[in-house]
Amino acid sequence: MRRLLLVTALLSLAAPASADAAARWAVKGGGWGHGLGMSQYGAYGQALEGRSYRKILDHYYRSTTLGQASGRVRVLLLASVGSSTFGGANRIGSKSVEPNRNYIVTRSGGRIVVRTRRGKRIARSSGVLRVSSPNGLVTVAGKGVYRDEIEYRPGASGGVTAVNRVGLENYIRGVVPLESPASWPIDALKAQAVAARSYALGTGTGNAVFDHYDTTASQVYGGYSAEQPSTNRAVASTRGEVLRHDGKVIVAYFHSTSGGHTENNENIFSGGEALPYIRGVRDPWDRRSPYHRWRLSYSARSLGNALGVGRLRRVRVNKRGVSDRIVFATFRGSRGRNRLHGWEGIRARLTLRDAPSKFKKITSRRSTAGAAVAGAGSRALARDIFGTVSPGRKGDRITLQRKTSEGWERVAKARLRRGGKYRFAVEDAALYRVVTAGDPGPAVRIR
């Protein structure tokens, strides 16, 4: 029969001699992405409840109106690569070619050269060569199929660079299905189309060669290869629609999951001007996201080293945003202190999904002392596990677990004392840990 575990019920206890001490840190937050503007899972949740795309957009982008816009964008596909193969084209610059053949682009000196697979030179240029097809589709090997034109030019770092010069609507057709699942409700997809179109016109790289990357550095873009019927319908039904503030197309930030509340832009990108249309708002609809809440566990040494302070001892939150996100926090450890920005510092150093909202420290120690145990008829040798939870409130629940061959099993539960302190008395030799609010403390071996 398993021996009973005796919980915090010592009538008297000699001053314990600590045999070892350890700490574990829980880092918690919610969301995935910078938390600015539209939460894509929030748009999904609102659409499921029957809200229109216009109401969805109005919720996330305050003080904006819908307007119309058009144009072309240039999207970087390949940068300074050794060669690129394309097919489906019937024109290379002013020269007509066979659309059923593939051609290879390389660099020779300061020029780019286009050849057939057998090596015959078709065209060359020290500037830009535009490649187009009779059906508006050009295949770029290793990348996909793209609408409109492909521009080839000498790469800035050698080799050749390829850019898709594409109409705005065709560009958005290649963005929406890679930013939101095509199976989502149509109003969520429409909201994504308007946000993506606005972001495309409201931002740019400032580069003379291209306006956007085809990655998350701008928006994820897959060209014609990525298009889906449902997302194309969403793009077509919102054709030309963009969000404006004071007559200008806005920078329509969007992200996967807000964690229940979006954030003000100046609290995420430090030094930036506060944008009146990117204000934090409640977002209960994104609870359907698997990233609505997240938590990670670290040793004091691994967490502190990542934050640049050695073994972490204390955390002080200096500023929070309008959501629960940390904007600035100061970390103290065995090698000094470091003040870090939530998004640009903490998140980046720990490779988190979003800026965190909470740091919790759980310490555990073991001790052995002679004691009179409540309910026992004689004095016994009591072995203690004790420590603190910070932050922790008196009355918060805490559980003691023991490691078995099948995993961790609960063997006792109690509540925190004043100052977040706890104590368990045990009789069996084993490996133990405490858990509070789902956060595990360090493992302590009782011998």
pLDDT digits (tens, 9 = 90+) for 27-53: 999 999 999 999 999 999 999 999 999
pLDDT in tens, 407-439: 999 999 999 999 999 999 998 899 999 999 999
**Predicted pLDDT at 13:** 35
**Predicted pLDDT at 20:** 40
Checking if the pLDDT of 373 tops 60, the result is no
Lookup result for tokens 């748009």: 43
Which residues are bridge partners to 107 per DSSP?
112
**Predicted pLDDT at 383:** 84
- Structural contact between residues 414 and 424, judged by C-beta atoms closer than 8 angstroms: yes
What band does 21 get if pLDDT is binned at 50, 70 and 90?
A: low
**Predicted pLDDT at 372:** 43
**Predicted pLDDT at 272:** 85
What band does 214 get if pLDDT is binned at 50, 70 and 90?
A: very high
| 293-to-29, 131, 389 alpha-carbon distances in Å | 6, 47, 21
**Predicted pLDDT at 187:** 98
| 21-to-156, 228, 367, 386 alpha-carbon distances in Å | 56, 57, 10, 10
How is the chain split into domains, by residue range? 10-25+361-446, 31-64+250-290, 72-168, 293-355
Q: What dihedral angle (degrees, nearest 10) is formed by the CA atoms of 415, 419, 420, 425?
A: -60
**Predicted pLDDT at 5:** 39
What band does 224 get if pLDDT is binned at 50, 70 and 90?
A: very high
End-to-end CA, the chain: 19
- Name 50's Cβ contacts closer than 8 Å, sequence gap at least 6: none
Average pLDDT of span 167-195: 98
Checking if the pLDDT of 212 tops 60, the result is yes
Q: What dihedral angle (degrees, nearest 10) is formed by the CA atoms of 183, 186, 189, 190?
A: 170
pLDDT in tens, 86-145: 999 999 999 999 999 999 999 999 999 999 999 999 999 999 999 999 999 999 999 999
pLDDT in tens, 9-18: 333 333 333 3
What band does 381 get if pLDDT is binned at 50, 70 and 90?
A: low
pLDDT in tens, 237-273: 999 999 999 999 999 999 999 999 999 999 999 888 9
Report the C-alpha gap between 427 and 158 in whole angstroms.
71
What band does 382 get if pLDDT is binned at 50, 70 and 90?
A: low
Structure tokens at 377: 């008829």
Report the C-alpha gap between 131 and 231 in whole angstroms.
27
- Structural contact between residues 362 and 389, judged by C-beta atoms closer than 8 angstroms: yes
- Name 341's Cβ contacts closer than 8 Å, sequence gap at least 6: 270, 327, 328
Average pLDDT of span 173-195: 98
Checking if the pLDDT of 6 tops 70, the result is no
- For the chain, give the mean pLDDT: 92
Cα 287–chain centre separation: 16
10-25+361-446: CATH architecture: Sandwich (2.60)
